[in-house]
Copies of this chain bind each other. A is one copy, B any other.
């Protein structure tokens, strides 16, 4: 599955040193949306600030709203003022950057739109010398993904003398069948090598660092298996609620919104086998193999290994917080999961019988994404005794994805004094303060990768299908039930059923 161009691609350095984009144009569908303002435009400006994109570069925004190029530029200028947080908005750089911004209004279900887009692209290619290279970025509502792909195909925009690639934002399908259908539609027009399915978690520095941590050090990998690890806990907690996105969220739920994509990819990064090399197919082959190794639950196992939850109203501090069913746009009888916790098993030699606990939720006590590797206790401690019970606390390796990116190792130490009292202590490494260097945002990394043609940190068709396969029986079981979901008061760590699920395996959720 090697990119046909890889061998001839001077921009593609597997270790990514001094990475720079070739001449290219990016067409953003949904350019009027939040993602463009908050993430894509700041990332592109930052890449320009670092001279990682060439002068021969252009962005073409599209949405149904009528706007001139200049109006679009002004809108993007406002977005950068608001969302560019750690980079100066220099007038001279903005001027030259803005000259590369264009806009084409149009309805993506109208064939005539693609004619106008083609004409605009041709003009820009002439004006900006972008070499016919075009990255189509789908940031619209998911229901437009298929029409856009087919529209681009009908207009012949999917191939040219330069490269043509398509980036597809999440969600990639609503379930296994719709994901397969979307793949079929995309493949009707694009080859797999042209398709870049984005999962921005894979672009995060701390997720990439998991690979460096595991595979460039000699001491962690020998411990990284069922012999030494008793369980893995992956937590993605949000303290906020649905924040006005109730109508959208009601159709998704926590399992779809976070676990099917982000957290299963994080789990694969933690659990996959060592890499022969750091290139797109080596990395994705291993991730896909891991995802296919996750045991798919039978429907009668779902109640044992999966717990949904929905937050109820609560007073947090002095604030009265509504429950999910009281949020604007949410059906007062909604059965959407705002919390989901799974016990997953991996059927291979490394991980047999080691539970991976994955949880995510809204309105939990704090915002944190982290991974806790819980090790077996010492097989025999000469210091164990009833009144030395700290002596039985297991070693923990905590990988913090956000915030306070870093790694901590909890181990037992002697407490100072005459007794052999043991206490858990931590060794800490803080990613930010240790280097004093800025971490690029996930979107900077991923946009640059797509322009260069490096799909290492993008998901592949087989990865997406494997993760939907894991989630599908749980979605089915939950939707077939008629009773209310387990409720948890806003500001707590989820329903008690989730604690009970771990207790059945002899484990307990760590409090982050």
Contact = CB atoms under 8 A, between A and B. Distances in A.
Q: Which of A216, A394, A438 has the most CB of B within 10 A?
A: A216
A359 to B, nearest CB: 24
A472 to B, nearest CB: 32
Copies of this chain present? 2
Interface of A: 14-19, 52, 205, 208-209, 211-213, 215-223, 227-228, 274-278, 282, 375-385, 387-388, 391, 394-395, 407-409, 411-423, 425-429, 431, 434-435, 437-440, 444-445, 448
Contacts of A384: 216
Contact of A427 (B14, B387, B428): B428
A420 B217 contact: no
Contacts of A421: 15, 17
A413 B395 contact: no
B438 A416 contact: yes
Contacts of A208: 414, 420
A207 to B, nearest CB: 10
Contacts of A385: 15
A411 B448 CA distance: 28
A429 B425 CA distance: 8
B425 A427 contact: no
Contact of A377 (B218, B223, B418): B218
A411 B428 CA distance: 12
**Pairs of residues from A and B, 3 with the lowest C-beta to C-beta distance, nearest first:** A427-B427, A212-B414, A416-B439
B52 A418 contact: yes
A298 to B, nearest CB: 33
A73 to B, nearest CB: 27
Given A213-B413, A274-B380, A419 B18 contact: yes
